[in-house]
Amino acid sequence: MDDVIGMPVRALAAKVRGGEISARQVVDAHLAAVEAENPRLNALTVVFAERARAAAGETDRLLAAGGDPGPLAGVPFSVKESIDLTWSATTQGWRGLADAVPAADATVVRRMREAGAIPIGRGNMSDFGMRWDTDNDLFGRTLHPIDETRSVFGSSGGDAVAVATGMSAIGLGNDFGGSIRLPASAVGIAGLRPSFGRVPRAAVRDVPVALTLQQFSVNGPLARSVDDLAVALDVLTGIDPADPVSLGIAAPDTDAAPRRVAVVRDPLGWGVDDDIRAAVDRAAVALSRAGWEVLDLEPPMVEEAAVLWRRLACTDMLLTLDPATLPEPLGRSATSFLRDSTAAARPFETASDYAAAWARRAVIAAAWRRLQAEVPLILGPVATRRTPEPDFDLGGQDAADAAWRDLRLVVAVNFLGLPAVTVPAGVDRDALPVGVQVIGPLHADELALAAAAAIESGL
Q: Indicate if 457 belongs to the active site.
A: no
Strands 293-296 and 260-263: parallel
438: which strand partners? 379, 421
Q: What is the rounded distance in angstroms from the CA atom of residue 445 to the CA atom of residue 420? A: 7
Q: Which of 78, 126, 168, 179 is catalytic?
A: 179
What order of strands is seen across the sheet that includes strand 118-123?
44-47, 118-123, 76-80, 170-175, 218-223, 190-193, 420-427, 433-439, 377-381, 260-263, 293-296
Burial (CB count <10 Å: 0-12, 13-18, 19+), residue 229: buried
Q: Are 73 and 17 a contacting pair, CB within 8 Å?
A: yes
Q: What is the rounded distance in angstroms from the CA atom of residue 353 to the CA atom of residue 244? A: 26
Q: Indicate if 155 belongs to the active site.
A: yes
H-type alpha helices, 87-168: 107-114, 157-164
Interior angle at CA 107, CA 105 and CA 113, nearest 5: 70
Q: Which of 15, 22, 78, 80 is catalytic?
A: 80
Q: What is the rounded distance in angstroms from the CA atom of residue 197 to the CA atom of residue 442? A: 10
Q: Indicate if 179 belongs to the active site.
A: yes
Q: Which of 22, 82, 155, 246 is catalytic?
A: 155
173: which strand partners? 220
If phi over 0 gives left and psi between -120 and 50 gives alpha, with beta otherwise, what is residue 197?
A: left
Strands 293-296 and 76-80: unpaired
Q: What is the rounded distance in angstroms from the CA atom of residue 459 to the CA atom of residue 449? A: 16
Q: Return the active site residues.
A: 80, 155, 179
